[in-house]
């Protein structure tokens, strides 16, 4: 991957809940066009970091910069409007709504016509806008191969398909940077292979920068351009997959002393 400017920078991010310190002065950069993974044992602070980036949490100290702008004070909606999308570790779909409607929710912040202009210009701007958003959603549905469930109620779907629908909704935001929190958790081998392919295609063909949390080390080492390792809320390593695999500190703190570390890590 060619050298490029940073799309995201975290500067000395600390996060504290009462007496519990979830993150301690974590700094890193993600380059534009990169597929960047964050790994670490349970409780290392991985999801807390994604929450600080997406705006769900406000850091106790430190700043988050996106496209060169300090977004630390911004709400999650304001960050989404600037091109930041995410999925959640625990599914956050509207279970009573159809797959199509769930994905359309992701386009909401892109709507330009308000209620009044939509009523006046329904046969002009608003109608055209609706058709454009429908076409964009259909492209996502085709890409993720979920046409056969487009009218199904989201809450009735198997877990693996619901994870795919959540990814579709995040993609519908039209993000420049997408945050994926354990996108393959709970999936079988075939589902993981499919999801890994979608993520790589989003990065390479759709031009999305990706920050991913994932426990399957085989997937992480195979598709990541660069990896950051957290342990007890602190960054202990940041580098290429090969560098992370051979890092003695990482082996001791997370991967163990064994040479064969590829596989599912709890």
Q: pLDDT, tens digit, for every residue of 160-212?
A: 999 999 999 999 988 999 999 999 988 999 999 999 999 999 999 999 999 99
Going from N- to C-terminal start, the domains of the chain cover 1-83+177-266, 92-174
Work out the pLDDT band at 256, boundaries 50, 70, 90.
low
pLDDT in tens, 87-144: 876 667 888 899 998 898 877 655 554 444 444 444 555 566 667 778 889 999 999 9
**Contact present, 251 and 240 (Cβ < 8 Å):** no
Closest CA to 39 of 202, 219, 257: 219
Residue tagged 């085989």 (tokens)? 218
Q: What is the DSSP letter of 163?
A: H
Average pLDDT taken over every residue of the chain: 86
Mean pLDDT value across residues 3-8: 81
Share of residues in the chain with pLDDT > 70 (%): 83
Q: In the numeric block, which tokens belong to residue 243?
A: 């560098």
pLDDT in tens, 18-52: 889 999 999 999 999 999 999 998 889 999 999 99
Closest CA to 237 of 260, 222, 220: 220
Order of strands across the sheet that contains 61-66: 20-31, 6-17, 61-66, 69-70
Work out the pLDDT band at 71, boundaries 50, 70, 90.
very high
Mean pLDDT value across residues 56-67: 97
Q: Which phi and psi angles does 3 have, rounded to 5°?
A: -65, 135
What superfamily would CATH give domain 1-83+177-266? P-loop containing nucleotide triphosphate hydrolases (3.40.50.300)
Q: Is the pLDDT of residue 253 over 80?
A: no
The whole-number pLDDT of residue 4 equals 62
pTM flag (> 0.75): yes
């Amino acid at each position: 991957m060619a050298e490029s400017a940073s799309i995201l920078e975290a500067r000395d991010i600390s996060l504290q809940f009462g007496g519990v310190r979830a993150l301690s002065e974590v700094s890193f950069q993600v380059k534009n066009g990169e597929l960047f993974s964050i790994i670490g044992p349970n409780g290392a602070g991985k999801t807390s970091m994604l929450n600080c980036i997406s705006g769900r949490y406000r850091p106790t100290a430190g700043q988050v910069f996106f496209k060169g702008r300090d977004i630390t004070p911004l709400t999650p909606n304001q960050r989404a409007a600037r091109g930041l999308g995410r999925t959640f570790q625990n599914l956050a779909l509207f279970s009573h709504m159809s797959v199509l409607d769930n994905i359309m929710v992701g386009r909401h912040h892109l709507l330009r016509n308000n209620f009044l202009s939509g009523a006046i210009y329904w046969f002009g701007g608003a109608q055209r806008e609706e058709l454009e958003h429908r076409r964009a959603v259909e492209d996502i549905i085709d890409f993720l191969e979920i046409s056969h469930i487009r009218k199904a109620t989201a809450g009735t779907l198997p877990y693996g398909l619901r994870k795919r629908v959540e990814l579709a909704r995040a993609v519908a935001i039209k993000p420049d940077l997408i945050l994926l929190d354990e996108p393959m958790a709970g999936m079988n081998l075939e589902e993981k292979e499919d999801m890994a392919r979608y993520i790589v295609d989003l990065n390479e063909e759709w031009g999305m920068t990706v920050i991913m949390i994932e426990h399957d080390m085989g997937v992480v080492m195979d598709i990541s351009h660069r990896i950051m390792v957290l342990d007890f809320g602190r960054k202990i390593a940041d580098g290429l997959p090969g560098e992370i695999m051979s890092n003695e500190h990482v082996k001791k703190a997370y991967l163990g002393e064994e040479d064969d570390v590829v596989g599912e890590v709890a």
